Structure 1
Amino acid sequence: MPESLTIDRRYRGPLDSANGGYAAGLLGSRVGSAAEVTLRLPPPLERPLEVRRDGERLLLLDGERLVAEAAHGDHGLAAPDPPQPDEAAAASVGVGAFGPPQFAECFVCGIRQDGSGLGIHPGPVPGRDGLVATVWVARDVSAPVVWAAIDCPGAYAVGEVGRGEPVLGRMTARVERLPDEGEPCVVVGWPLGDEGRKLHAGTALYGRDSELLALARQVWILPRAG
């Protein structure tokens, strides 16, 4: 029997659709600890979506429209050495939620006065060749929240200034361990090249003693010119 899920408005990315990493995590975590999720449409908020199995894939459907699909996947990345927490905190000083107005309330990188977002705003780490980083104290921990935490840092890594305008197209992630509630973490992102409108990035989450908790490869899509 098909499963149904509804994405609460708290988890918005753009003002009118879900944060891509959170939506990808909802589907990918149903596949297992390692999954590749491709987003086909902006994930709708506050209405039931169907999760349907199709062979080795899981599909997320809005009626007959395919929103996302997930399968087992390997990111094929080696994690970089993380900066120390004080370095990561210093890198993010003054960064804020740079980006177009539609991302102003993003669950991950927006600014919310009620504290309902993650407030992750990574900045460049001196001497680390494109690496951006910040700190995050884990809370409301779940697999989709961890996927979200390692979502927007990729946009910061590929954007010219701050978050920029790309939207998440694909995320291949492996979660080694969920952080404990209240665990101090370091989040990083780094660029992996580009192909036209497609920008590639890696992201990672580290916990206590620089333990690797999660690692992802991403494809970001720039809007069409004009």
Structure 2
Amino acid sequence: MAGQQSPRAAAPTLTVPSRFRGPAGSANGGYVCGRIAEYLDGPVTVTLRRPPPLDTPMTVESDGGDGLRLRHGSTLVAEAAQAHNSPTLRVPDTASMAEARAAEGRAAYFQDPLYPDCFVCGTGRQPGDGLRVFAGPVPGRGLWAAPWTPDASLANGSRRLRPEIVWAVLDCPSGIAAAEAVDLSENTAILLGRMTVLLAEVPAVGERYRVIAWPIAHDDRKLTAGSALLGPGDGVLAVAETVWLTVPRPAAGVAAKGTR
């Protein structure tokens, strides 16, 4: 949308149900980013400052300008603003459904997943509960991919998904691609710091999609990656750019993606 845009009236609180957990005791970062983004128009950038708690009301408030803050008590959990540098709907490469199926689960992360109960990439989540998106490398392509068919429980009252689910599905694959494209030590993990999403079309439940992800840059402790949701005929429904920070491999309860 052109011109100056302002936040819609924000709900006084935002609570993340335990279904949408990432690490034990905290919410999936992409899901939370998507929930906050609903209060702003156009492509949105969300910066996570702390692991978002589960089943706990958090306050959504204006930052005094056109952005928002999410707080848990006095603790700043996240900040959101309209994206100044939005990703485009162009992707560097694509993967066929056959390639996505062949790559599924082949990332090194899944040999010993740090967060098996993650809503997006958790191997311990059952169909119809977690998203079960297990992105793996496509040989020789610098691309990670996985198939995905959304469950009816993720719909918004029609056959279309809630937008925050699209943010969630673009989160973990980009982290896996970012981490596995560089030579990180076995004691290193990565933490989602920032996420920008351009959502062109909300997918429908029961349809077959592909999630792809690719590394973009590695600058000291900062890793940048992209991800996209592809429909039939390689149509691009949504694109994300994510920024991850390297941290010591955490104990359970810290919002990071482990690497091997």
TM-score, scaled to structure 2:
0.79
- Aligned pair 1:151/2:175, yes or no? no
* Match for residue 52 of structure 2 among 31, 43, 51: 43
Q: Deviations over 1:82-109 (max 9, x none)?
A: 2111111111154486276641211011
CA contact (8 A) 2:31 2:167 kept: yes
1:215 deviation in Å? 0.3
Q: Aligned partners of 1:32 and 1:152: how far apart in 2?
A: 24
Identity of aligned residues (%): 41
**Residue 3 of structure 1: how far off its partner (Å):** 1.8
Partner of 1:21: 30
Mapped to 2, the partners of 1:93 and 1:38 lie a distance apart of: 28
User: Residues of 2 paired with 1:190 and 1:94: CA distance?
Assistant: 15
Q: Which amino acid aligns with 2:62?
A: R
Deviates more, 1:102-111 or 1:213-222: 102-111
SS in 2 for 1:31: coil
Instruction: Report matched runs for 1:115-154 at 5 Å.
Output: 115=127, 116-128=129-141, 130-139=142-151, 140=154, 141-154=161-174
- The 8 Å contact of residues 37 and 171 in structure 1, kept in 2 or not, is answered as yes
Q: 2:74 aligns with which of 61, 64, 69?
A: 64
- The residue aligned with 1:112 is 124
Taking a change above 3 Å as real, the CA distance of residues 222 and 93 of structure 1, as seen in their structure-2 partners, is: closer
Specify the alignment match of 1:186 in structure 2. 210
Gaps of 5+ in 2: 1-9, 155-160, 182-187, 251-260
Larger radius of gyration: 2
Moved over 4 A (4+): 93-97, 99-102
Of stretches 92-101 and 71-80 in structure 1, the one that deviates more from structure 2 is 92-101
Runs of 5+ unmatched residues, structure 1:
none
Matched to 1:119, the amino acid is: R
